[in-house]
Amino acid sequence: HHPDAARYVDAEIGARGWTWALELDRPLDAAVSTTALHYLDRDTLLATYRQLATLMRPGGVLVNGDHLPQGETGPAGIAAHVGRCRADRQRVFAHEDWGSWWAAVGEDPELADLLAERRRREALLGTGRPAELPLCAHLELLRQAGFDTAGPVWQYGDSCVVVAVR
Ligand SMILES: C[S@@+](CC[C@H](N)C(=O)[O-])C[C@H]1O[C@@H](n2cnc3c(N)ncnc32)[C@H](O)[C@@H]1O
């Protein structure tokens, strides 16, 4: 409905010079991410938070909805239980799961080129994934990166929305 409202760029967050691809012409008001930043290791995450803080105007916000475990200082077992109960209530596991969703994508000819490109990139990445950093580590890195305040504004189990204000 609003083709001019968004511009898409293909960039690897954390790779050298990735913010150039954004071609920004003014400071950012907000940066928003969902379930992507947990792929980054600690050093890359800190560098990425620093870059975003630099690109953002004072008062700008970073909003990250992600899988952020409690870590050793939080009641991890209870948080996981609350998350499972909510998923049960919402019948999350009665819906299409990850495997069947991708199987359906594989059968759609219109998506064949994109799927091939996805597989090519996955092969380049390899199988190693950094350990997921807990919520407190993200908050600490956000403060180190120059955000004034950072904290969770919504949380169920390990699912969390963190807001940080520049
Ligand atoms: C779980 S999906 C979430 C997709 C979407 N944000 C959403 O909420 O539906 C995670 C996405 O992050 C992408 N991703 C992981 N690491 C990335 C990086 N360093 N730069 C850009 N995208 C990345 C993956 O390719 C994948 O598409």
With tokens 């803080």, the residue in question is 53
pLDDT tier at 24, thresholds 50, 70, 90:
very high
**Residue 39 CB less than 6 A away from ligand 1:** yes
Mean pLDDT of all residues in 43-54: 97
Q: What is the pLDDT of residue 69?
A: 87
What's the CA gap between 80 and 98, in Å, rounded? 20
Residue 129: closest CA among 67, 78, 73: 67
**Residue 13 CB less than 6 A away from ligand 1:** yes
Q: What is the pLDDT of residue 98?
A: 86
In CATH, what is the architecture of 18-165? 3-Layer(aba) Sandwich (3.40)
> What's the mean pLDDT when you consider all of the chain?
91
The atom number, within ligand 1, closest to the CA of 65 reads: 8
**Is pTM, for the whole model, over 0.85?**
yes
Radius of gyration of the chain (CA): 18
Residue 153's CB: how many other CB atoms inside 10 A? Answer: 10
Give 126-143 pLDDT, tens digit per residue.
777 777 899 999 999 999
Contact, 47 vs 14, CB < 8 A? yes
Contact, 33 vs 63, CB < 8 A? yes
Cβ-count burial of 37 within 10 angstroms (0-12 exposed, 13-18 middle, 19+ buried)? buried
Q: What is the pLDDT of residue 114?
A: 95
In angstroms, what CA-CA distances link 162 with 3, 125, 142, 145, 150? 29, 27, 10, 15, 7
Pocket test residue of 16, 35, 119, 159 for ligand 1, highest count of atoms within 8 A of CB: 35
Tokens of 2: 């609003």
* DSSP-assigned letters across all residues of 12-42: -TTSTTGGGGG--SS-EEEEEEES-GGGS-H
First and final C-alpha spacing in the chain: 32
